[in-house]
Chain A
Amino acid sequence: MPAASGKRFKPSKYVPVSAAAIFLVGATTLFFAFTCPWLSLYVSPVIPIYNAVVFLFVLANFSMATFMDPGIFPRAEEDEDKEDDFRAPLYKTVEIKGIQVRMKCWAVSAGEKLCQPSLSPSSPHRQEFDHHCPWVNNCIGRRNYRYFFLFLLSLTTHIMGVFGFGLLYVLYQAELSGVRMAVTMAVMCVASLFFIPVAGLTGFHVVLVARGRTTNEQVTGKFRGGVNPFTNGCCKNVSRVLCSSPAPRYLGRPRAEQTVLVRPPFLRPEVSDGQITVKIMDNGIQTELKRTKSKGSLEVTESQSADAEPPPPPKPDLSRYTGMRTHLTLATNEDSSLLGKDSPPTPTMYKYRPGYSSSSSSAALPHSTSAKLSRVNSLKEPNSICESGHKPSYRSEPSLEPENFRSPTFGKSFPFDPLSSGSRSSSLKSAQGTGFELGHLQSIRSEGTTSTSYKSLVNQTRNGSLSYDSLLTPSDSPDFESVQAGPEPDPPVGYTSPFLSARIAQQRETDLHGRFAGAVSPKHVPPREPSPVRYDNLSRHIVASIQEREKLLQQPPAPGREDDAGLADSGIQSTPGSSNAPRTSSSSDDSKRSPLGKNPLTRPAPPRFGKPEPHHALRVRSLGSPEQPAAPHLGKSVSYSSQKTAASQAGVPEAEEVALQPLLAPKDEAQMRTSYSKSNGQPKSLGPAAPSPGPVPLSSPTRGGVKKVSGVGGTTYEISV
């Protein structure tokens, strides 16, 4: 017995197909030989032709069904050894066309997993396995099903034809004897014998095709429920079987040469600005700008909020961020952590103070910065004004708000923007319309409200001065200007945690007052990270106020400065006031800060702002002054600045208070003052003492004009209106 590739030759396997073939061909031949001549003569010559055609059809389909593989998957060599894998399919449920279908998953080859709906293709070996037809000695699958079906149809037709014409012959013959008659009768008997099963099978498959099922499915009753997710409707099913282009075979295809060489070095995806998703962790209001590169975005956000982790080795495409990241990392470890930790809903804050932006724009502070204020009003203008004075502070801001500084690049909203706008607007209002305000306002506006000041901040950061150092070095006007001029447009998409923005503002202040030397050590920022969450919630308002403050601080030291600082503080403070939690944190921050000395930067939260060095606080205040027009802003800024100043320095409080005054509307002022003084006292005392008292006064909702804004984390901020 010849053995084929190690397989035993089983003649029994070929019995059915042989028998079928013999019967088919033999009977037809006899029919043609004995019956057809008479039929062609006496009935019509078309008959043999017709029968010949049909027979040919049958043969063709028979051959195709026999010799065409049903779509056997090419298997890797080692698949033979992994039969076990095939036997242990995993199941999972997948929804196909709205119907839950169980999928069988096999490990086909090294790591490759094949999941097929366990209904239709029942075997990993063949696509759409229908059944194994012994008559054809072949499995019927997707590829040869059409031929098999047509074979059945044609065979049925052929049998009917042969039988019919034989009958015709017999009927018309006068004598029922003779070789022809005998042969014809024999053929008729064979035909009728085969007709019943073949017709039955044909009918069965007709139904299957109409329903879009395979034999396997029908027989195993998988679709007893009558729901078949793979059906497309009767007509479509039929047409799909009969009319679709024949699928090619998989085995035995010439292997295409792999002409593509893979050679290092490899490109890595670029994390373009537009792709970086600045994910602001706020109250779930996550503005994911463009998530083209999730990883990139992740890195970006992480860099911002990452706990002081240096960015991954900069890849060429990430080079953009490298600088930023480095800065960020350096700048504020804690800032980033603050940022990243919680997602206070800056937007909330921001939203809460929609009026600030507008009001801030219109605010006209008596200070010299009023001019700038007017610019702020435009909001859209580049923060040139801010630039002049605020570069240093802005610079550092980016570190605090990595997102911000990225936003110009990425076109994403700065997370801070809302914050900044909010805070800025408040601070602006409270401040004396320093350049900061403009910047703040602009940024705010970009958001839609007002974060001009912030934007300027961001712009600055964009310029690449992401480090704290920039904050400290006040002489960056050029940078600032350039920054400012640019970008407006990056409307703060996301919200950096208010914490960050506060931080930045603080940093700015620190920077501004950096000259004060020693007071501000951006590096100290890290230590203060007590409650990032709160600050985040404070978000916009705080940030805005902070920024404003910074701007104010940056303003020429002139008169408005102190006021601004105070105002800014108040502005900033107002934000914290809005929520008890932040307040507490801020106060705690303040407390922390005091021991730390002036680390305005470390404190993103409003209280922090209050804490930074006295000069910073002053600056903040000045920032806040411009925002005076908005009552709530005022309240906030006042409180903020008050906090700041109180926290930061001893001697400043008065100055701050003074600064606050112009910012605040008369009635607010009183309020602010109260709160301010309280906060003033608090921050300082907070350090050593419990922080809670500080924020308390501000947080009381019943305070006149104090609005309660609740953030996502359940934090509530009170914004003094």
Chain B
Amino acid sequence: QVHSLQELRRSASLATKVFVQRDYSDGTTCQFQTKFPPELESRIERQLFEETVKTLNGFYAEAEKIGGSSYLEGCLACATAYFIFLCMETHYEKVLKKISKYIQEQNEKIYAPRGLLLTDPLERGMRVIEISIYEDRCSSGSSSSGSSSSSSGGAGG
């Protein structure tokens, strides 16, 4: 059947992007809104999404946490005229690495199988969590990939 061939060439095309904005209700700390975007209604379970965002929020809170370790780090940096930054990475950067690993893992396990992709907020300046929604190109699903894919393609840079 023709389908087999088509199936082999099945690929997903970017349909649209959803942006999860920052939640400023707690000040300028880096938090993202856990409100479930309506575009994801049919793509992923609400609970999974919320869990992802909450975990990310937790990570960011940990990164910005002011504690003994961060204070010491600051003092050390001052003492060494910030040369220490050449050798070791800051606490914040460590957490950022954890975040990116987490996002990668989430993408692999949960989002990609559902045709979604999370973008690390760091790549967007910590402003939004960008979720790309893909549509199966072979399916006749409602995919508004036309304009959005072109624009998203442009924005991918």
A interface residues with partner B (beta carbon < 8 Å): 56-57, 59-61, 63-64, 71-74, 76-78, 94-97, 101, 103, 108-117, 120-121, 127-128, 147, 150, 229-230, 232, 236, 239-240, 242-248, 250, 253, 255-256, 258-270, 275, 292-295
Contact = CB atoms under 8 A, between A and B. Distances in A.
Contacts of B151: 110-111
A266 B25 contact: no
A96 B16 CA distance: 30
A56 B1 CA distance: 76
Nearest to B113: A267
Contacts of A294: 41, 46
Contact of A57 (B28, B45, B78): B78
Nearest to A58: B81
A56 B81 contact: yes
Contacts of B53: none
Interface string B12-38: 100011010110111110000000000
B: contact size bracket: 35 or more
Nearest to B89: A248
Given A264-B137, A293-B46, 10 more contacts: A60-B81, A73-B127, A76-B155, A112-B17, A113-B128, A246-B85, A246-B90, A260-B108, A260-B111, A263-B11
B102 to A, nearest CB: 13
B90 A292 contact: no
Given A94-B24, A269-B43, A294-B41, A74 B123 contact: yes
A263 B12 contact: yes
A270 B48 CA distance: 12
16 contacts: A61-B82, A73-B127, A76-B157, A111-B19, A111-B151, A112-B128, A113-B21, A114-B128, A121-B28, A127-B125, A245-B63, A250-B122, A250-B126, A260-B111, A264-B12, A293-B46
A243 B21 contact: no
A256 B120 contact: yes
Contact of A246 (B28, B92, B127): B92
Contacts of A95: 25
B27 A96 contact: yes
Closest 3 pairs between A and B when the two form their complex, measured CB to CB:
A73-B125, A110-B151, A266-B115
Contacts of A253: 122-123
A512 B115 CA distance: 49
Nearest to A112: B19
Given A57-B78, A248-B90, A269 B44 contact: yes
A109 B127 CA distance: 12
Contacts of B78: 57, 60, 150
Interface of B: 10-12, 16-17, 19, 21-22, 24-28, 41-47, 63-66, 70-71, 73-74, 77-78, 81-83, 85, 90-93, 96, 100, 104, 107-108, 111-117, 120, 122-128, 130, 134, 136-139, 148, 151-152, 154-157
Given A253-B122, A269-B44, A115 B114 contact: no
Contacts of B112: 260-263
A243 B122 contact: no
Contacts of A256: 100, 104, 120
Contact of B117 (A59, A260, A293): A260
A111 B81 contact: no
Contacts of A103: 24
A239 B65 CA distance: 11
A438 B46 CA distance: 39
A405 to B, nearest CB: 23
A90 to B, nearest CB: 13
Greatest chain A CB density within 10 A among B11, B12, B81 is at B81
Contact of A97 (B27, B64, B65, B156): B27
Contacts of A263: 10-12, 112
A261 B91 CA distance: 30
B74 A242 contact: yes
Given A112-B17, A245-B90, A260-B117, A240 B123 contact: no
Contacts of A270: 45
B127 A108 contact: yes
Given A57-B81, A64-B82, A268-B43, A115 B22 contact: yes
A361 B134 CA distance: 56
A120 B10 CA distance: 47
A250 B24 contact: no
Q: Which of B21, B65, B73, B116 is most buried by chain A, counting CB atoms within 10 A of its CB?
A: B21
A264 B108 contact: no
Contacts of B152: 110-111
A73 B22 CA distance: 14
B16 A111 contact: yes
B81 A264 contact: no
Contacts of B46: 292-294
